[in-house]
Structure 1
Amino acid sequence: MTSLYDNRRGATHANLAVAALLAIFFFSTAAKWATTHIAGALIALGLLAARRDFWLSPPARAYTAVSLMWLLPVIGATALQHAQDLVTATLWSKQATLILRILGIGLGILFILHKRWISLRQLTIIAMGCLLIHGLIGIGQWALHPDTGLAAWRTIRIEGIVGNPNPYSFYMALGLVLSAALLHDDSTTKHQRLALWASAAVFVLGIAGSGSRGAVLTATAGIVVLFPPTTPRRIGAYFLTLGSLVVAYLTSGWHDIDTYSDGTRVAALRFSLEAISQRPLGGWGFGSYIHIPGHSGINAPHNMLADLALSSGIPSLAAFMGSLLLVGYRLLQSRTSHAHTLLALLTCAVVAGTLEYSLLSSTHFRGPWVLLVALTCYATNPTQGRCALSSATSHSKGAPAS
């Protein structure tokens, strides 16, 4: 009896430690604190305990395949840049860091799930909790601002401790779509629905307070994937919502505030395409945008596809698109509620990435992307079907669910 009790206590301590580590990683990624790198390194170091059964498991093999599909061309582009003595070539240290953060952290999370130190349901609750705390901090910041009001939607932009209104609103959009998915789940209880409605309200206020049009598009894309316009009622609701937003935007004068932002982004994309045409095969290197001859204006393409092609060449972009299509195909083929939820969240990430981020260098974006792709490889594995994401808020009884 004593040894059995000790084993259970050890398992509980391991579960709590892993939960705390993941919470630190998720929360710190949004806040962009140094602890995100420490927690990420610890997650990756857990792979030292991995055995053959993990490395041969379908989720680990799938994640390795879809990641290496585009990482290998990126590495090849870096080698070509150094062979040509390009001044802006990617540093090998940066290349190694990218590999560690993509493969190390992604496989580390899969290893945690493989060992059943935490369940998919528990991981979802942790992620939702981190998003909710960030949302509440931002709303508190907004409420305490002396000039807060509906008319200040684009002039007062809350950012919480994320430090930037656009990434803050990106996380709020993810939280809103996840809340909507869980509300749509028939197994969600009445009390859980009340909590989820309250969470959704926080995320909506967070998006509104951030003043981010990109977040509105991101959240809308995810909601449309969750609830496709297949019925007259939904089609009417979408048209009514879209019309209301357009009228409100045009009559409020907010579009005048956004003219400069739109112009600089268009100029950045135009310059990126010119730079890509000059070095279509090997690219210019990570973070090279501001060092390319003729550069002016903002400091990045603000588009993950343009950034990937500019940094590592068109072959790397093509490989990434192939990887993305493969991940999406796995989700569509799975035909489960949790796969549907992950497809909606991945759609959010794709939309947000093409509007703002870099997969190669954005800490705010890379963390959620790695998590979503890793969870896709885990949840679409037939043997993991019992770990449905849609049961994320169901009650746990006794020992932590596996």
Structure 2
Amino acid sequence: MTGPSQKQEQRLAPASLATIALLVIFLFSTPAKWATQHISSVLILLTLFLARRDFWVSLPARAYARLTLLWLVPVIGATALQHVQHLETATRWSEQATLILRLLGVGLGVLFLLHKQWLTLRQLTMVILGCLLAHGLIGMGQWILLPDFSLTAWRSIRIQGIVGNPNPYGFFMALGLVLSAALLRDRGISQTLRLVLWIATSIFALGILSSGSRGAIITAATGIAVLFPPNTARRISLYGAILGSLAIAYFISHWQDTNAHSDDTRAAALKFSLESIAQRPLAGWGFQSFMRIPGHSGINAPHNMLADLALSSGVIALGAFLLSIALVGYRLLRMDTPLTRTLLALLASAFVAGTLEYSILTSNHFRGPWVLLIALACHAFGMARHSHKQDTTAASHRKGVLAS
């Protein structure tokens, strides 16, 4: 006769399989921005209708809701003020509702799937790594099949895979590199998995090179520096040698000439963003308003997460967003476990990438990974609380045994 635990395992197996399939679709579709990204997002959101009180009062759910609403409420308030002022570039309420669902709904949905144990953290990690690796391999195939394929033609040949843009492609390869490097720190993994991770690391590194994205190099370097901080003479010397080599390679090549126009354009966009923020510092101009602001010229966006947030929703929303990130980062730093160090490295990488390219409000390339990272950080907070309770209970039990 089947016991209760076996029955539960059999009952949850289909749910686990469906959950993994759903997240594979979501995570693989996000870089490519396929329609399946939106469909899977809605399905993740709909799982919340199955949630009961035990989930809503759990630490991860409460932490995620509070940290997100901390800056999302000022964004909503700015939208309301824009409409009161009859601003032509005001955020449409439909866009505001979509942002709320994508930020709160998807993040809480992922936490609910982990809460129900339909998906383990290890499984989710492998799904993330596998999806990023698949994109990396597609890009490598595209690169190798080019007639002028070369390892040294950096930025003259810019691979984008099926992501559709070399900069986001490089961003996802950078996240993959940081994640695989973090997993390699675990001495308990099997030799087979270690070999796979080294292969994955090599593919991600080549993906960054083939993308020709300077932002991807900076993003990956940030994460690696968090994982392996320059706190010893050996590491300081190694990092110094790498930076020196890159500087020499940059100045003796034609890279600076190739990059000059891009740098000037981005500098002009940032300058216009700051001027626009100064005109409307409290309420901002609205989502995707950059090109509709009077006096605009040049590229289509600030290409800076912080400038875009302040320009769209005001400096109060920006300050609340930075506070939210600081709270997450501080807690991850204080916990100091292999999991939290990995999440801190990925969060630092994503933050730097955002300041170089993306918008937390409108970028489908960026918002999905960001939401997932914050959700996993909140899940880590819950795991730490559970572990602490277990340790406290065990200590109390030992005291009771000794007293008796």
In structure 2, what is the equivalent of residue 175 of structure 1?
A: 176
Question: Could you tell me how far 1:333 is from its partner in structure 2?
Answer: 1.5
Partner AA of 1:180 in structure 2: A
Deviations 1:131-155 (A, max 9, x none): 0000000011011111111342111
In structure 1, what is the equivalent of residue 23 of structure 2?
A: 22
Alignment of 1:187-266 (within 5 A): 187-266=188-267
Distance 2:294 2:208 in 1: 37
Distance 1:293 1:106 in 2: 36
In structure 2, what is the equivalent of residue 370 of structure 1?
A: 371
Q: Is the 8 A contact 1:183 1:196 kept in 2?
A: yes
Question: Could you tell me how far 1:8 is from its partner in structure 2?
Answer: 3.4
Distance 1:145 1:239 in 2: 34
Question: Could you tell me how far 1:383 is from its partner in structure 2?
Answer: 3.9
In structure 2, what is the equivalent of residue 339 of structure 1?
A: 340
Distance 1:15 1:383 in 2: 25
Percent identity for Structure 1 against Structure 2? 64
Q: Is the 8 A contact 2:103 2:371 kept in 1?
A: yes
Query: Which region of structure 1 is more displaced relative to structure 2, 346-355 or 330-339?
Result: 330-339
TM-score by length of 2: 0.94
Q: Secondary structure at the match of 1:150?
A: coil
Partner AA of 1:241 in structure 2: I
Question: Could you tell me how far 1:35 is from its partner in structure 2?
Answer: 0.4
Partner AA of 1:208 in structure 2: L
Distance 2:143 2:247 in 1: 24
Q: Is the 8 A contact 1:378 1:384 kept in 2?
A: no
Partner AA of 1:65 in structure 2: R
Distance 1:150 1:384 in 2: 48
Residues 1:34 and 1:143: Cα distance change in structure 2 (over 3 Å)? same
Question: Could you tell me how far 1:380 is from its partner in structure 2?
Answer: 2.1
Q: Secondary structure at the match of 2:274?
A: helix
In structure 2, what is the equivalent of residue 64 of structure 1?
A: 65
In structure 2, what is the equivalent of residue 128 of structure 1?
A: 129
Q: CA RMSD in A?
A: 1.2
Q: Secondary structure at the match of 1:380?
A: helix
In structure 1, what is the equivalent of residue 289 of structure 2?
A: 288
Alignment of 1:31-50 (within 5 A): 31-50=32-51
Distance 2:63 2:8 in 1: 32
Partner AA of 2:183 in structure 1: L
Larger relative contact order (Cα-Cα within 8 Å, sequence gap ≥ 6): 1
Q: Is the 8 A contact 1:379 1:385 kept in 2?
A: no
Question: Could you tell me how far 1:193 is from its partner in structure 2?
Answer: 1.1
Query: Which region of structure 1 is more displaced relative to structure 2, 190-199 or 350-359?
Result: 190-199
Partner AA of 1:280 in structure 2: P
Distance 1:45 1:256 in 2: 50
In structure 1, what is the equivalent of residue 394 of structure 2?
A: none
In structure 2, what is the equivalent of residue 390 of structure 1?
A: none
Q: Is the 8 A contact 1:279 1:313 kept in 2?
A: yes
Question: Could you tell me how far 1:244 is from its partner in structure 2?
Answer: 1.0
Distance 1:306 1:157 in 2: 27
Distance 1:173 1:151 in 2: 19
Partner AA of 1:344 in structure 2: A
Distance 1:298 1:260 in 2: 12
| 1:300 and 2:301 are equivalent in the alignment | yes
Distance 1:7 1:272 in 2: 55
Stretches of structure 2 lacking an aligned partner (at least 5 in a row): 389-404
Distance 2:352 2:9 in 1: 44
Question: Could you tell me how far 1:384 is from its partner in structure 2?
Answer: 5.1
Alignment of 1:89-168 (within 5 A): 89-168=90-169
In structure 2, what is the equivalent of residue 396 of structure 1?
A: none
Distance 1:162 1:302 in 2: 18
Q: Is the 8 A contact 1:70 1:320 kept in 2?
A: yes
Deviations 1:50-89 (A, max 9, x none): 1111000000000000000000000000000000000000
Query: Which region of structure 1 is more displaced relative to structure 2, 69-78 or 142-151?
Result: 142-151
Alignment of 1:82-93 (within 5 A): 82-93=83-94
Distance 1:32 1:384 in 2: 36
Question: Could you tell me how far 1:11 is from its partner in structure 2?
Answer: 1.3
In structure 1, what is the equivalent of residue 54 of structure 2?
A: 53
Q: Secondary structure at the match of 2:359?
A: coil
Distance 1:345 1:183 in 2: 15
Q: Secondary structure at the match of 2:164?
A: coil
Question: Could you tell me how far 1:385 is from its partner in structure 2?
Answer: 5.0
Distance 2:3 2:179 in 1: 41
Query: Which region of structure 1 is more displaced relative to structure 2, 187-196 or 255-264?
Result: 187-196
Question: Could you tell me how far 1:241 is from its partner in structure 2?
Answer: 0.7
Deviations 1:157-185 (A, max 9, x none): 00000000011110000000111111111
Distance 2:341 2:30 in 1: 25
Q: Secondary structure at the match of 1:152?
A: coil
Q: Secondary structure at the match of 1:156?
A: coil
Residues 1:339 and 1:86: Cα distance change in structure 2 (over 3 Å)? same
Distance 1:196 1:44 in 2: 32
Alignment of 1:308-347 (within 5 A): 308-347=309-348
